[in-house]
Amino acid sequence: MAGSYHRSLSATAIFALQVVLMNLWVYPALLLWTLIGILIFPFLFGVGLVFLRQPADRLMRWFVWIYGRGWLLLMSPFVRFRREGMERVRIDRPCVFVVNHFSFFDTYCMALLPQYDIVFAVRSWPFQLFWYSAFMRLARYLDVEGSSWEETLSNSRSVFAGGGTVLFFPEGHRSRTGEIQRFYSGGFKVAIDAGVELIPLCIDGTDKLLPPGRKLFYPCTVTLRALEPVTTGNYRDVNGHIRLRKQVKELMSAELVAMREGQKQ
C-alpha cells in the first residue's frame, strides 16, 4: 500500500518536472522560431520567387508548412508525434481536408501531412494576428467569415485548379469537451461543388497537450490519422452536403473512439 503510494507520488513529481522543463523550453523556442521566421522567410520568399519560379501563394504555403515542421521539431523532446494512414493522402490530387479541432496547436500539427500545398479556411480573427496576417494573405488563406459564400467557392476552385488542397476545421471552434461538436457545412459544400475528394483527418492528443483555457503545455502523444477519402460525386443533390456531413462526422467520431481505445491498450 505504502509502496504504491510512493510510486504514484514519484510519478506525479516526475510528470510535474517534465511539465516545468517542457514549458521552460517550448515557449522561448517557439517565440524564437517565430521571430526567425518573420525575419528570414520574407528574404527566402524573394529568393524562392526568383529561382524556383513557383506561384507566390504556393511558395508561401510551402514556407508555412516548413514553419509548422519547425514547431513539431521543437516540441518533439516532449511530444511523440504519430502519423497514420498518410498513404491515403495523394499529393498530386486536389482535395478537401476536414479535421476535428481540440487545440490551438492543431493548426501546426497539419505539418504532419505529406502535402504542403494547403490553403487553410479560417474565421476572420486569425487574420488580425499581425505577426501572421501578411503570410496568411500571401498564402491566400480563405477568410470564410469575412468573405461571401460565392468568394469562398470561387477562391477554392482556383486553389484546386492550381493543384492545391483546402483544409477546414468543420467544427469552427475548439472542442471543450473532448468530443466532436456540430459540423458547419462549408467544407462539404466546397468539396461537392468542385467534385474533389474529401479526406477526413482525425487528430487526437492535442486536447491533452494544450486544451482551450490552459496556458501550460503537457507532454503527451499526438496522433494524426487520415481516413479513407470520400468521393463527392454522389452528393450533388439539394441536401447532399447534409448527408455527406453526417456521414463524415459519424466516421470521424467512430475513428476517434477507436484511436483512444487503441491508446489505452
| Site of interaction with another protein (CB under 8 A) | 123, 144-145, 148-149, 172, 182, 184-186, 238-239, 242
**CB of residue 56 to another protein, shortest distance in Å:** 28
Q: In terms of CB distance, is 69 or 157 closer to another protein?
A: 157
**CB of residue 260 to another protein, shortest distance in Å:** 23
**Residue that is written with C-alpha cell 470521424 in the block:** 252
Cα–Cα distance for residue pair 73/77, rounded to 1 Å: 8
**CB of residue 144 to another protein, shortest distance in Å:** 7
Burial of residue 207 (CB within 10 Å: 0-12, 13-18, 19+) is buried
Q: In terms of CB distance, is 22 or 194 closer to another protein?
A: 194
Burial of residue 105 (CB within 10 Å: 0-12, 13-18, 19+) is buried
Q: In terms of CB distance, is 115 or 232 closer to another protein?
A: 232
> How far are the Cα atoms of 24, 123, 226, 250 from residue 168, in angstroms, in the given order?
32, 10, 14, 17
**CB of residue 233 to another protein, shortest distance in Å:** 20
| CB neighbours of residue 151 within 10 Å | 13
Q: In terms of CB distance, is 144 or 202 closer to another protein?
A: 144
Q: In terms of CB distance, is 41 or 184 closer to another protein?
A: 184
| Cell, residue 254 | 467512430
**CB of residue 156 to another protein, shortest distance in Å:** 14
**CB of residue 264 to another protein, shortest distance in Å:** 29
| Cell, residue 144 | 470564410
**CB of residue 38 to another protein, shortest distance in Å:** 30
Residue type, 74: L
Q: In terms of CB distance, is 29 or 242 closer to another protein?
A: 242
> How far are the Cα atoms of 36, 159, 253 from residue 247, in angstroms, in the given order?
42, 25, 10
**CB of residue 145 to another protein, shortest distance in Å:** 6
Q: In terms of CB distance, is 42 or 172 closer to another protein?
A: 172
Crossing angle, helix 149-161 and helix 186-194, to 10 degrees?
50
Q: In terms of CB distance, is 208 or 241 closer to another protein?
A: 241
Residue type, 125: W
Cα–Cα distance for residue pair 62/129, rounded to 1 Å: 20
3-state SS assignment for residue 97: strand
Classify the phi-psi angles of 85: left when phi > 0, otherwise alpha if psi is within -120 to 50, otherwise beta: left
